[in-house]
Amino acid sequence: MAYFSNGSEGGAWTAANCEVCWHDRNEDCPIWALHLDYNYAQCGKTSKAKLLKAILSSLVPMDGLFAGPCRLKATVDIVGQLKLLDAQQEGGG
């Protein structure tokens, strides 16, 4: 679950993750939308809250006290690196 202690911290995270990710090209990232819609709902002790916390935490895990990198962006970055390597191998032999 992404937790930000203030707007500056949240802004820095979105700049490093959302603003450079293909999935947020129209400012409609599904990961960010889930966090905005369900952030407070996952704070309870109900089965639904526990499930929401597990889902949100799997998408944006905490790294100590701070939100870690978005897993969707990390996946996009890895795929991009693989495509670059493939292109280099095809062109360079």
CA-to-CA separations, 36 to 9, 32, 65, 69, 93, in angstroms, rounded: 15, 6, 19, 17, 47
Query: So where are the chain's domains?
Result: 7-92
pLDDT of residue 92: 61
Q: Coil, strand, or helix at residue 66?
A: strand
State the Cα–Cα distance between residues 52 and 41, nearest whole angstrom: 8
Residue 71, token pair as written in the block: 């897993």
Q: What are the backbone dihedrals phi and psi of residue 67, each rounded to the nearest 5 degrees, phi first? A: -70, 130
Mean pLDDT of 14-26: 83
- Over 70: is that where the pLDDT of 93 sits? no
Quote the pTM value. Answer: 0.65
pLDDT at 53: 85
Q: Is the pLDDT of residue 86 over 80?
A: yes
pLDDT digits (tens, 9 = 90+) for 21-70: 877 778 888 888 888 888 777 778 889 888 888 888 888 888 888 888 88
